[in-house]
Structure 1
Amino acid sequence: MAENSRSFTQLCACFRGCVPKRADWMSLLGLANETLTTPALMEFATRFEDQIGEDVYLYIREIFERNVARNDRFAAQLTELVAAMNDRGVTPVLLKGATMFATTARMRWGSRIMSDLDVMVLPDQIDATLDALFALGYVEHFLTPPTAKKWYIELKRPSDVGMVDLHRELPGPAFFYRSSGDTKPHFKMMPIGRGRAYVPSATYQALILIIHDQFQDSDYWIGNIDVRHLIELRDLVISPEGIDWDALAALTPSKLARNALETQLVALFRLLGVDVPARMRSRFVPRLQHRRRLAQARFSLLRQVLLPMVILDYRNYRTELGKSFSGAEIGGKWRLPKIDTLRFLLAFSREQRAGKV
């Protein structure tokens, strides 16, 4: 456990642009592999090649170059499917990693490991989209059951390096996007090969990433840190467009959303050294949640011990849930989570998920 603690601290130091003292490169690279961040070390390795050892540099470069080749295939796959969807009168929305191919120079594609392409269309465009993708040779791999809160379908082809995840809603509970109002101003149309797709602004992309990790993946409740997505948030901050901090705060006015947002921003500041406004990383609950996540990342046995911290925001969650139903009053009195909810979170906290610590 102590070794994992040291590796995590040293890995974060690398992403801050510092060479760790007495680095255990085997353990550090092992953790980078587990968190899917090894190719993101390429910029660090190039800068400090003479200080990290030839074998470490060559390993990182090999992973980076292989990932560039893999993402080139993802780019070709995305270009093909966007054009096919456009031909059916559908202009898709690119989500998460898929946005990289529209907003990032190819020379930086190798830094991000991708597992699939996330694409969203309007509910009434699902049939036309599926017709287009089935015509390209895609077949259904997984379809959410009728009882699922969020509908999506995974589509695959033997020749591709990853699947297509087709959505009709943004990730996470819908009530987190209420404050956005009309979402159109948050997206811009961009060329993808001969086709066109909508891509979220850097600020809205940050919101989507945070809601996805904190609530769709339940990271806020069980105390996970998705290091790969934390790096993506850093890259959004330093991108030419940058993040509008005031706009991001306005998009998360509720207590629960604000706590989740600022928990990520505390991590962004503390772990990666990103210049986050002090007003968005100074409140008690987000700082406490960060300490909890940091402790769990270093000592995994604490994951179940600290799970009761879910009660810090459970009332806020019920309040938000209540507001999503017309006339419902779910918030109100303070109460503990249901037994089934605690059992779900306990089981979930025991899982080791790729990319997360």
Structure 2
Amino acid sequence: MSADRRILSVLCRALEGTVPQEPDWAALLALANRTLVTPALAAALHGNPAVPDEVQAFLTHIAARTVRRNAMMERQLAEAVQALSSQGVVPMPIKGAVVLAAHPAGGADRLFTDLDLMIAPGQATLAGMILGEIGYRSTAPSAAPATGRNFERSSDAGGLDIHYRLRSFDHWPGFAQLAPFCTEATLHGASVLMPSPSLQAAILIAHDQLQERDYWRGLIDLRHVLDLRALVTATGPLDPATLAALFPGGRARRALATQLLTLRRLFGIEAVPGLETGLRPRLQCARRFRQIGRRRTMRWLTAATLLLDPPAVRPRPDTAQNWRERAQYGKRMFYAPKPNKV
């Protein structure tokens, strides 16, 4: 077992509250910091007598800073949904925003970097005007303009991303397609649509596996795996019908199965009991752990995955342009992984 893989295993056990004998605390904390799970580690090891005093002091400091940041993010979320809802725009919190909405006290065990809200495309102009009235300015979008807009204010801890449809999924579902998987709720006195736990999980999985290309590159976003663990632990197994509707088959279903297998391998969590995974997802899951700490191995296995299970490219009339896009997409697969992944 490589040193990086061994440290990941130790970190996962620590995230469950278990402190191994004579751990390499420097390496453990370095990996926790890199994968953005230090707040979760602080919560898991709080008050544990096996943790050295200097490590506990560091974790306590991180937890306190996380509480302050999350309180700022909570106020930002409350102001945004109140402003939108007051003008008839009912937002759907997704990704980290729905976690913050479901646990309004914020807390110290999860770091929030930005806020994501989904709205109906027909309300895009109105939403932009409303956010402008409370001080937001639009920034260059990180995706195609048809999928949403990004906003920011200098006074906030993080940005605010407005989505009209989710390019995380191959079929780019919009507000109308996802609303049936939500329930009407009140958040800080504002009307919102709260995604079901299974929809929350599906969006996280699709974001990492398909949009961020982790399925092909074999990378693990540990913070999001912890989110999945928290969802299943709190609400029980995910709904197979919801997952089947959002991951209808083929590549998407294999990407889903790979992430659920990764959750089971890291934390022993069975998100969908009796899930039929197939050979490819099992191989992809095994590949993820084999390549940890081995950059050259990752490149070779990424190339093999691209050949055997190529990503989707949205259809275009120009076939040559289609292939150029596919080639450019494949080229990006070999860039250095984001610093928050293993």
Deviates more, 1:338-347 or 1:114-123: 338-347
Which residue in 1 is equivalent to 2:103? 104
Corresponding letter in the other structure for 1:28: L
Cα distance in 1 for partners of 2:147, 2:109 equals 30
Cα distance in 2 for partners of 1:70, 1:61 equals 14
Which residue in 1 is equivalent to 2:128? 130
Kindly indicate whether residue 223 of structure 2 is the aligned counterpart of residue 225 of structure 1. Answer: no
Corresponding letter in the other structure for 2:78: T
Which residue in 2 is equivalent to 1:31? 31
Contact 1:154-1:165 within 8 A present in 2 as well: yes
Kindly indicate whether residue 283 of structure 2 is the aligned counterpart of residue 288 of structure 1. Answer: yes
Q: What TM-score, normalized to structure 1?
A: 0.85
- Quote the offset at 1:269 in angstroms: 0.4
Cα distance in 2 for partners of 1:89, 1:149 equals 23
Corresponding letter in the other structure for 1:197: V
RMSD: 2.8
Note closer, same or farther for the CA distance 1:57–1:209 as it changes in structure 2 (3 Å cut). same
Q: Which runs of structure 2 are paired with 1:163-312 in the superposition (5 Å)?
A: 163-175=159-171, 177=173, 182-240=177-235, 243-245=238-240, 247-249=242-244, 251-277=246-272, 279-280=274-275, 282-307=277-302, 308-312=304-308
Note closer, same or farther for the CA distance 1:343–1:128 as it changes in structure 2 (3 Å cut). closer
Contact 1:65-1:110 within 8 A present in 2 as well: yes
- SS of the residue aligned with 2:205? helix
Corresponding letter in the other structure for 2:161: D
Cα shift readout 1:154-186 (whole Å, capped 9, x = no counterpart)? 2111111011011111241352759x9953331
- SS of the residue aligned with 1:61? helix
- Quote the offset at 1:299 in angstroms: 2.1
Which residue in 2 is equivalent to 1:80? 79
> Which 5+ residue runs of structure 2 have no aligned equivalent?
none
Corresponding letter in the other structure for 2:307: I
Which residue in 2 is equivalent to 1:45? 45
Which residue in 2 is equivalent to 1:90? 89
Corresponding letter in the other structure for 1:31: L
Cα shift readout 1:126-157 (whole Å, capped 9, x = no counterpart)? 11111111111111222358xx3853222111
Note closer, same or farther for the CA distance 1:256–1:177 as it changes in structure 2 (3 Å cut). farther
- Quote the offset at 1:216 in angstroms: 1.2
Cα distance in 2 for partners of 1:82, 1:120 equals 11
Corresponding letter in the other structure for 2:141: L
Note closer, same or farther for the CA distance 1:340–1:177 as it changes in structure 2 (3 Å cut). closer
Which residue in 2 is equivalent to 1:355? 340
Q: What TM-score, normalized to structure 2?
A: 0.89
Aligned length: 338
Contact 2:237-2:272 within 8 A present in 1 as well: no
Which residue in 2 is equivalent to 1:9? 9
Cα shift readout 1:208-257 (whole Å, capped 9, x = no counterpart)? 11111111111112211111100001111011365224543454231212
Contact 1:259-1:286 within 8 A present in 2 as well: yes
Which residue in 1 is equivalent to 2:309? 313
Contact 1:202-1:241 within 8 A present in 2 as well: no
Cα distance in 2 for partners of 1:347, 1:282 equals 27
Contact 2:179-2:193 within 8 A present in 1 as well: no
